[in-house]
Every structure is written in C-alpha cells, then in structure tokens.
Amino acid sequence: MANDQTFDVLLQEFRRVGVDPDTFSALLALRPEDALRALKVLPENAGATAFVAQLRKNGHAQSASAGVGATAATLDQRRRDKSA
C-alpha cells in the first residue's frame, strides 16, 4: 500500500475506533502495519484504552502506553518492577 493510502486508512480507522491521532503521541513510535493490525480488530468507538490494550496483546505495549497518560516516571517504575 502506498504511503498516502496507508495514512488515509490509518486516519479512517482511528476515527472509527475513537482514537484522536492528534493527541496520541505514541503513534509516532508505531509502524503503520502494527497500528492497523490492532485497529482492524476493534469495534467502533472502542477508544484509546482498547487500542492500547490491543497493542499490548500484539506485543507493542511499551511505546503505546506512553500516549495514554503514562508519565516517564510511571514507565521507569514499570521497567524496574520487571527487572526485579
């Protein structure tokens, strides 16, 4: 799929699912195909939390969780908890 087409499809899917791509900064760290894979399985108006949960299920948790309000300190604490 061409980059312009991919971008258009992503925007349509984000709107359908209820995720505002303008405020979801973690999207910058996602590959388009990973975001589309997560979005395609979600129902309409599922929201950002469902999107992040699906990303986690697909193995893309770290980059996505930052965009839904997790602070850097929260992410650092999670990393420390996992390494203990």
pLDDT of 46-77, one tens digit each?
999 999 899 999 987 654 444 444 434 444 45
Per-residue pLDDT at 83: 52
Give the residue numbers spanning the domain of 13: 3-83
Q: What is the pLDDT of residues 3-13, one digit of tens each?
A: 888 889 989 99
Q: What is the pTM of this model?
A: 0.64
The long-range contacts involving 22-28, CB below 8 angstroms and separated by at least 24 positions, are 24/48, 24/67, 24/68, 25/66, 25/67, 26/63, 26/64, 26/65, 26/66, 26/67, 26/68, 27/67
Look at residue 26 in the predicted model and tell me its pLDDT: 61
**Cβ contact 35:60 at 8 Å:** no
Residue 70 is predicted with a pLDDT of 44
Report the number of distinct structural domains present in the chain: 1
State the chain's mean pLDDT as an integer: 76
